[in-house]
Amino acid sequence: MRRPLLALLTLALTGGPALAQPTAEAPPPPPPPEAESPPAAGDGPLEPEIRITTRGTEIHEEYRYNGILYRVRVIPRNGPPYWLIYDELGHVHRSDAEPKLLVPQWVIKRF
């Protein structure tokens, strides 16, 4: 009774016939990733679009997200630059300091 138990224990610890079999070949590497697909129609850009224009002696940097203008940086030839910030209703607010924090203003529903 002790010998079969000892044989089973030895077989279990050493791996038994599983170690004697040749190992299977490694699976082939995955195919290379394909080119990125264009974003879906509902996906917007991750970063704002910036258009730089000159009007007279001023340089205007227009910041747009999903085609909507939300702020303009005006750099006059003489004087410090300033910001024109558009709110959801279309009103323009002038700011002489660079906006460090823009509070999110999500649109829940448009009528």
In-domain check, residue 2 = no
Distances in Å between the Cα of 7 and the Cα atoms of 14, 15, 17, 65, 107 are 11, 12, 13, 74, 74
pLDDT at 35: 55
Task: Judge if pTM exceeds 0.75.
Answer: no
Average pLDDT over residues 6-35: 68
In-domain check, residue 40 = no
Distance CA 55, CA 45 (A): 27
Weakest mean pLDDT among 22-26, 47-51, 65-69, 81-85: 22-26
In-domain check, residue 71 = yes
Alpha helices (H) in 1-67, listed in sequence order: 2-14, 17-20
End-to-end CA distance of the chain: 86
Number of structural domains in the chain: 1
In-domain check, residue 22 = no
Average pLDDT over residues 49-61: 92
CATH number at residue 64: 2.20.130.30
Give the range of the structural domain holding residue 81, as residue numbers without chain letter.
49-95
Alpha helices (H) in 43-84, listed in sequence order: none
- Greater confidence (94 vs 101) lies with 94
